[in-house]
Amino acid sequence: MEASRMSWCAVVLGWSLFVLEFGGGARAIQPVRSHEEILRLLGVRRTVIIRDCPPCHGEWDPLCGSDGKTYYNGQCMRSISCRRGRDVGVLHFGPCTFELAVSGRSPRSPQEVDPIDDDCPVPVTCGDKAEFVCASNGKTFRNRCIMESWACHNNEVIHAVHSGPCSRNKRAIDERCPMCSRDYNPVCGSDGVEYSNPCMLRYTACTEHRRINFAAWREC
C-alpha cells in the first residue's frame, strides 16, 4: 500500500505516542516522539505547523470554559485550547457543575450523565460578552444568560447581587435568605402573586425586602 493512501492515526497510551496503521487490520508501528517522526515513519512529506502554545502549570484556580469543561486554571485553559486549535472563553470562575458534551448530554459528575433540559438555555448560545455578574450563590458568571443557564440546569434559584466579579474574600450570598428548589407546590401570597412553593415566597420577600404573607395554599 502506498504511504500517501495509507490510513493512519496517532494515539496516546499512557505516556507514549503510537502510530496506528490501517490496512487489513490495525497495527501499532512504534512509539514516536514528534509530528515529524510520525510523518517520516509513514513516508509522508508535507509541512507541519506546530503551535507555540503556553505550558499548563500553576496553582489550582479552576474555571469553567465556554465549552462547558472545567480547567485547572486560566493558563491551562489557554494551553489546552491552543493545542486543540479552539477558541475557549470563560463562562464563570470555579468548576463547571455540568460538562457540556458534544452528544448534548450534561454530566453533573464523572459517574452521572443526564440529558440537558430543553427548557434551559445552553451556555454556548449565551454568547461570550463580558458583562460579569456576581450571583447570590457566591459564583461569578460571565453574563446573566450564563447565570440563568447554570441555575436552570442545576435546579437552583439564584439572582444577580451586583455587576462585576464576586469578591474572593467574601461570599455574595445573603445568609438570611433561603435557598429554594424548583419543586412545584403553589401558594398564593398576600401581594396577589402566585409562588411555585412556600420557600420561593419567603425568598422573594427576603431578597426584595418586602413583607409578603401566606394567603392560601393554592394558586391565586
Whether the pTM exceeds 0.75: the reply is no
Which one, of 98, 179, 172, lies nearest residue 133 by Cα?
A: 172
So what's the pLDDT on residue 172?
44
SS3 186: coil
pLDDT tens column, 147-184: 887 777 666 778 888 888 877 544 444 456 777 777 77
- Give the per-residue SS3 of 49-107: CCCCCCCCCCCCCCEEECCCCEECCHHHHHHHHHHCCCCCCEEEECCCCCCCCCCCEEE
* Contact (Cβ atoms closer than 8 angstroms) between residue 90 and residue 63: yes
* Contact (Cβ atoms closer than 8 angstroms) between residue 218 and residue 188: yes
Q: State the cell numbers at 9.
A: 492515526
Class of the domain covering 63-102: alpha beta
Q: How confident is the model at residue 133 (pLDDT cuts 50, 70, 90)?
A: confident
What residue ranges do the domains of the chain occupy? 9-42, 63-102, 133-163, 187-217
pLDDT tens column, 10-39: 444 333 444 444 444 444 455 555 556 655
- Chain centre to alpha carbon of residue 101: 9
